[in-house]
Amino acid sequence: MEGDTYWNISMHFFYIAVGLIIFKLYNSITKGKFDSKRRLDGQVIIVTGASRGMGKFAATDFAKRGAKVILAGVDFKELNEAKDEIIELSGNQNIVAKHLDLASFQSVRNFAKDILKTEHRLDVLVNNAGVNCLLNKKTDDGIHIGLQVNHFGHFLLTNLLIGLLKKSAPSRIIHISSMLHLIGNIDFDDLKGVETKKIDLQYYPDSKLSILVGSNEFSRRLEGTGVTSNSLHPGAVKTDIFMGNQNIIIALFWKMFFGIFCKTVEQGTQTTIYLAVSDDVKYDSGKYYADCKESTWKKTIANNKEVGKKFFERCCDIVGLKPEERLI
């Protein structure tokens, strides 16, 4: 009996090891690379979550191409440190740091108001910022913090900047989703994520599906305006997203896991840069990308027009968009 137990445990570890090796090989094989030297002189680009990780890497790339880059983030000290580093790496002085707390609709409104006051154009909006959703708490706006930071905050920001994006057309909106949207759900009875009891891990895929559904509906509503809206899966990337977890043991486990088995930040940012820069996707909209190419790994509901319309309208109500602010 003890021998059988030992054998079963050994086989479980063997299967886990094989699975991890396959996962590592998959990440090694699927590394899209964008090599274009295309310049972005004269363009204005906003990157949320730009103080670290993929947001910072993308912002640095855009700065090297000559764009004016607006770094948006909640930690202003860290944001200014990123600004100084990006200026040093790129030689581009036209880098601006602005406070943005996506967990506060008022902060989003303040940020958008400042942008509309100071900027005459906006060529690319990169909705990059995100949290791991494992901190199960509500924001002051009464929404699960993971759903608000990952989706609702960006949804409000995008709507408030639509007028400037249309004025600057052709322009692009890029939403960072994830393949984990495949196990996400849209719960119309609890879009805020505070009424229904879920396991903490479910909020992240739910938020990423919300991003994808929202991106596709933005695309439909912006058809003919010259503004495109696309979403992407960056891959499993070794960032600090799980270090915000209150459970230090879980956080350290994820840090070790991502460090060994996942893509580098540079590799994970390639699709974002591709969608922001490439002429090949200049007019593409309503699509979902991974590894610098369109992906077919998309949940069916993401393309459902009726779901998209209902979802968009409900989100408008939740974020408090006024009638005069609904430009699409």
Instruction: Tell me the catalytic residues.
Output: 203
Q: 231 Cβ partners below 8 Å, 6+ apart?
A: 174, 175, 176, 177, 211, 212, 215, 216, 287, 288, 289
Cβ-based neighbours of 117, under 8 Å, separated by 6 or more? none
CA atoms within 13 A on the CB side of 323: 0
| CA angle, 51 then 213 then 126, to 5° | 25
User: Is the N-terminal amide bond of 205 cis, ω within 30° of 0?
Assistant: no
Q: Is 95 strand, coil or helix?
A: strand
Number of H helices and E strands in the chain, helices first, is 10, 8
**What one-character-per-residue DSSP string does 231-258 give?**
EEE--SB--SGGGG-S-HHHHHHHHHHH
Structure tokens that stand for 296 in this block: 């077919």
Token pair 């274009």 is found at 36
Angstrom distance (rounded) from CA 266 to CA 289 = 17
Are 50 and 71 contacting, i.e. CB atoms less than 8 angstroms apart? yes
CA 270 from centre of chain: 13
